[in-house]
Structure 1
């Protein structure tokens, strides 16, 4: 792997470029000779020169008024002119530094994010300024290109607080559909039963496998069933689980199918639970601490017509 170029050397190359593009032809000739010697000293100097040229060209494509500001003036030994030249060069170097930061922010990026079983929610910062909060036993792939930002949610729960970029859409792809950000913070959950999307701020567009779409606003949510079909969107308080509560180590379920409850629970328990067909379609309402999953397990038999049976290490939730 090639080592990154020193910012100081890029600034030095930008200073040479300022001299080369000035109106003093004699000075430009002298600088030209210095540049050749400087570039030949090392591979890092050559890479710094190429980076500086790239930034210089971009600055000169930004706008005519900016070009006028950063264009170096003819060399003049007077103190006032030297101060003006120094100010112009400072603008060039600042613009170069800004462009360097911008390219770092928008350069292609690929990373795998994975959390462990029963792990507390973990925060991840992305290069564009977006933030992810990822729940236990979750698996994601982040892929950024110059034209698109994409997250593949393979399994689990993630909360997205997305930095706005007009020219690069932000997509969350799941096995059952795609969520496109329209400027927002939202949660996507996939524990293997269906996919749930809940919006905390702004708007998202959710598209199912049949191409149908719905736009959700703050406080709304929608589910994708196991066939990749959109359900009816509703307010967040009307359809459980409340996907924001796991961020505070708490589960809140409202009329939630037991199969979904167990799928969420299994990310936190040492012995995964299975639910048989007679109990899978029962619905649960209640709030439980995710840091103490045994509280939820012990509550099931009290609030639903089920029994929890441990059969030699295999825990089953069965209808009575």
Structure 2
């Protein structure tokens, strides 16, 4: 691990706040002892903390196993006990491979949610992970924000413009030929006169799905690459182009409006990727063969853990839930 990676890892661990104060203390000690070279005073303080409560030792040991590292071994060298006994797991029942995978996903998938100050300062409305918000707009149109979504509005001087800063939103637009309604994402802009459609923005592309009416989709790259959608069609926009128009099933694609996720003969990996958007923790698959399995279902989005558990049972794979909201399938 490089120096910058180590700093990032320390920052992620130290910034995480656990509901259990003992777990918080263990996390704090983990960061302080990560390099395995505590001075005498630090080591003495650590050993005193261990002696205060048997849970302290167990929480730290569980964290050390979870992150697949060795600060604990180095810090207890002076303890007058059998270290092999000290390191023996007591209540933890996670397989070591699962623990190692947990460590990797905590770093890579971002189990701790950080608020983007840039988005917060720009946004007029923001939804939390797993939440939705119905918003009446000044012109009589309506907007429904999906999970982890932020938007900025501009309805001054006859303008009707919404900027989708992140996430996904559905719009039911009041017809007004004199004042076109526009929605811009990261890479594209949608222009309508009166219609109902959804826009979703991501790291690599924007997606537009039309339920009724008619819209024109422009690439913000140069404004020349464009597409016109009819009901039941979808298109994606990247930093350089608008994709060909494809058929879509709005009743399934937009089922999130009713708090559902619907899929038929879909890759389990794709389904899990969608469910991750509604889960405050992280969902990890240990074996890529599991991702390739085909599944069909209709699940509630307010019970992501239950949906994943049912999918795991259907795929006949193990389901593990690690403290902190991490779910692992293997």
TM-score normalised to the size of structure 1?
A: 0.53
Give the Cα separation in 2 of the matches to 1:189 and 1:271: 21
Equivalent positions of 1:215-230 (< 5 A) are: 215-224=228-237, 229-230=241-242
| Equivalent of 2:149 in 135, 138, 141 | 138
CA contact (8 A) 2:173 2:193 kept: no
How far apart are residue 311 of structure 1 and its match? 5.6
Equivalent positions of 1:31-70 (< 5 A) are: none
| Equivalent of 2:262 in 252, 255, 261 | 252
Residue in structure 2 matched with residue 75 of structure 1 by the alignment: none
CA contact (8 A) 2:272 2:308 kept: no
Residue in structure 1 matched with residue 138 of structure 2 by the alignment: 127
Equivalent positions of 1:72-111 (< 5 A) are: none
| Equivalent of 1:166 in 177, 182, 198 | 177
Can you give the 5+ residue segments of structure 1 that lack an aligned partner in the other structure? 1-109
Give the Cα separation in 1 of the matches to 2:171 and 2:290: 30
How far apart are residue 286 of structure 1 and its match? 2.9
Residue in structure 1 matched with residue 279 of structure 2 by the alignment: 269
Deviations 1:239-294 (A, max 9, x none): x8933211111111356666654454234323232568947974754321112212
| Equivalent of 1:183 in 176, 194, 206 | 194
Change (3 A) 1:277 1:154: farther
Residue in structure 2 matched with residue 62 of structure 1 by the alignment: none
Change (3 A) 1:128 1:241: closer
Equivalent positions of 1:293-308 (< 5 A) are: 293-302=304-313
Give the Cα separation in 2 of the matches to 1:285 and 1:214: 31
CA contact (8 A) 1:147 1:167 kept: no
Change (3 A) 1:191 1:299: farther
How far apart are residue 114 of structure 1 and its match? 1.1
Indicate the RMSD between aligned Cα atoms, in angstroms: 3.4
Residue-pair matches, total:
206
**Structure 1 runs, 4 residues or longer, greater than 6 Å off:** none
Residue in structure 2 matched with residue 235 of structure 1 by the alignment: 247
Q: Which has the higher strand share?
A: 1
Task: Say which structure, 1 or 2, has more relative contact order (CA 8 Å, 6+ apart).
Answer: 2
Helix, strand or coil at the partner of 1:291 = coil
Helix, strand or coil at the partner of 1:298 = helix
Residue in structure 2 matched with residue 73 of structure 1 by the alignment: none
How far apart are residue 230 of structure 1 and its match? 3.2
How far apart are residue 168 of structure 1 and its match? 2.1
Change (3 A) 1:254 1:149: farther
